[in-house]
Structure 1
Amino acid sequence: MSTSKPHIAQTLLSRAHSPDTAENLFAERIKQKPLYLRGTSPTPADNRSRRRLHRIRKKEYFLRHQKPKPLSAREKRQSGLYDLPKEECKYAIFKELNRMWVEYMCEILDLRPGAWRAQQQQQNQKGQQGPRPLVSALSHGSKLVSADFHGADVQVVRSRCAGRVGIRGIVVRDTKFTFVVVTEKDEVKTIPKEQSVFRFTVPLPQAKDTTESKDAMDGVEACEGTKELVFELHGSQFENRPVDRANKKFKWRNVDYL
């Protein structure tokens, strides 16, 4: 026969109350009441782990709600973003790009058919006499230095490296320090801008009548009978990316390296 030891609370209640009251209090307030236990206090190592987990979750939430991080220059090179497929480096393919570039240059230089006649009429209304150049450094210089040269047909006319002189092709990539061109022989050449002078031409648009065409040709600072505007670009003073040239202010400088 086994005898169970009475609960300590029941013993204490029996000393203060009658047997029936003590039995009711023990059953209602102690025996059937749930016991809530508090966990052991965390150690310093557990606190450190909890803070680390909180930082990780906060960082994951931040990365999940922010814009994708742009690729670095090394990642772009490794991904082949700047590589030109050899089967697509054909001069005939980029001729259409050159045609689009010519239209772009005619637009920023105000070389539309009939534009010269409108300029002459404005000049006559102001009482100015004498021929006015179609393109001048004061009126179009800032536009030329800020233009994009992807698609331009350029030729190296002067350079300290004699092997570069005479190279001609369509610009397929305009970087900060180089021009990457595709020649008529479907060769891809990288030409440094430093200490080189490049020449490019912009064909004049055909006028509707002969009189307008004659008036436009009289205003061009070139030889009589020409149908192209010829420009020379000094590469050493043009070492900027196209995106940086848009808002850059250029200053006049002496050229004494060639």
Structure 2
Amino acid sequence: MSVSQKHIAHELLSRAHSPDTADQLFTERIKQKPLYLRPTSPTPADNRSRRRLQRLRKKEYFYKKQKPRPLSAREKRVSGIHDIPKEECKYDIFKGLHELWVEYMQEVLDIKDRKAYNYTPVTPASHGSKLVSADYHGAKIEVVRSRCAGRVGVKGIVVRDTKFTFVIVTENDVVKTIPKEHTVFRFTIPTIQHQTNNGNDTTHGLEVASKDLVFELHGSQFENRPVDRANKKFKWKNVDYL
């Protein structure tokens, strides 16, 4: 096509419009009009990649909404999540935990602020279920009976209460694992009775120390985790294995 030959669209516009208007319309509508190109059709490989990407996105979204899987027993052992560092296995460190546990047990048994003239005595029938469902981390226990004679007399503060064992720290900063089966543990809870001068509940009353409460815990009847014991019902059982 020669340079002097005009575009067919320009010739058609010249027939309907003036020369200036035809030049303007040709420049804006035809010469400078963008040309949109349609991409070629995707190949089967592209379709497969697109479907795989959609599956990965759905899977990622599902994992975000899903709760994390709990660790297995093997993974817990490998990670050491329940291991107590040796530098922290000190009897003096856990004394504070024992003091908190004593206050906790006094509240559980309703003996923390009881009055000398009006209180409910602690009996197995009234407080047995509370003792069963209580937490014993921080309790100071002593082995009083056991089929293994070497365990009798061992005492310390409970640092871990598992389903079948008590892990304690002795006064010599030694960590020992005591099985619950065929073992009787003893622990003591100190009590304080408040006595007033005139029998009235005033803030100027006198505190009179009473006899401490001593309990014996039969480990064979106590083989449950602290979490499982919270909703466990208390049942009377005969103990004749020792």
Rounded Cα–Cα distance in structure 2 between residues aligned with 1:204 and 1:97: 18
Tell me which amino acid in the other structure corresponds to 2:231: N
Preserved CA contact (<8 Å) 1:102 1:152: yes
For residues 14-61 of structure 1, what are the alpha-carbon distances to aligned partners after superposition, in whole Å with 9 as ceiling and x for unaligned? xxxx9x98xx9xx89999876655444434443232122112223334
Is 1:231 matched up with 2:215? yes
Preserved CA contact (<8 Å) 2:114 2:193: no
Tell me: CA distance 1:44–1:76, structure 2 relative to 1, closer, same or farther (3 Å): same
| Corresponding residue for residue 186 of structure 1 | 173
> Equivalences for 1:105-144 in 2 at 5 Å?
105-119=105-119, 134-144=121-131
Tell me which amino acid in the other structure corresponds to 1:107: E
> Equivalences for 1:1-258 in 2 at 5 Å?
37-64=37-64, 66=65, 69=68, 72-73=71-72, 74-119=74-119, 134-208=121-195, 227-258=211-242
Query: Can you give the 5+ residue segments of structure 2 that lack an aligned partner in the other structure?
Result: 3-7, 16-21, 200-205
Rounded Cα–Cα distance in structure 2 between residues aligned with 1:233 and 1:199: 6
| SS of equivalent to 2:186 | strand
Q: Report the alpha carbon displacement of residue 188 of structure 1 after superposing the two structures with TM.
A: 0.3
| SS of equivalent to 1:154 | strand
For residues 199-222 of structure 1, what are the alpha-carbon distances to aligned partners after superposition, in whole Å with 9 as ceiling and x for unaligned? 111112254469999x996xxxxx
For residues 208-256 of structure 1, what are the alpha-carbon distances to aligned partners after superposition, in whole Å with 9 as ceiling and x for unaligned? 469999x996xxxxxxxxx221111111221222122112223333333
Rounded Cα–Cα distance in structure 2 between residues aligned with 1:210 and 1:138: 33
| Corresponding residue for residue 129 of structure 1 | none
Rounded Cα–Cα distance in structure 1 between residues aligned with 2:198 and 2:150: 45
| Corresponding residue for residue 222 of structure 1 | none
For residues 70-93 of structure 1, what are the alpha-carbon distances to aligned partners after superposition, in whole Å with 9 as ceiling and x for unaligned? 651444433332221222212122
| SS of equivalent to 2:232 | coil
Tell me: CA distance 1:194–1:41, structure 2 relative to 1, closer, same or farther (3 Å): farther
Query: Can you give the 5+ residue segments of structure 1 that lack an aligned partner in the other structure?
Result: 4-9, 11-17, 120-132, 218-226
Preserved CA contact (<8 Å) 2:115 2:194: no
Number of residue pairs aligned between Structure 1 and Structure 2: 226
Preserved CA contact (<8 Å) 1:156 1:196: yes
Q: Report the alpha carbon displacement of residue 68 of structure 1 after superposing the two structures with TM.
A: 7.1
Identity %: 67
| SS of equivalent to 2:135 | coil
Preserved CA contact (<8 Å) 2:90 2:169: yes
Rounded Cα–Cα distance in structure 2 between residues aligned with 1:93 and 1:210: 39
Preserved CA contact (<8 Å) 1:179 1:192: yes
Tell me which amino acid in the other structure corresponds to 2:184: V
Rounded Cα–Cα distance in structure 2 between residues aligned with 1:252 and 1:41: 79
Preserved CA contact (<8 Å) 2:117 2:195: no
Rounded Cα–Cα distance in structure 2 between residues aligned with 1:205 and 1:216: 5
| Corresponding residue for residue 224 of structure 1 | none
Tell me: CA distance 1:177–1:48, structure 2 relative to 1, closer, same or farther (3 Å): farther
Preserved CA contact (<8 Å) 1:154 1:168: yes
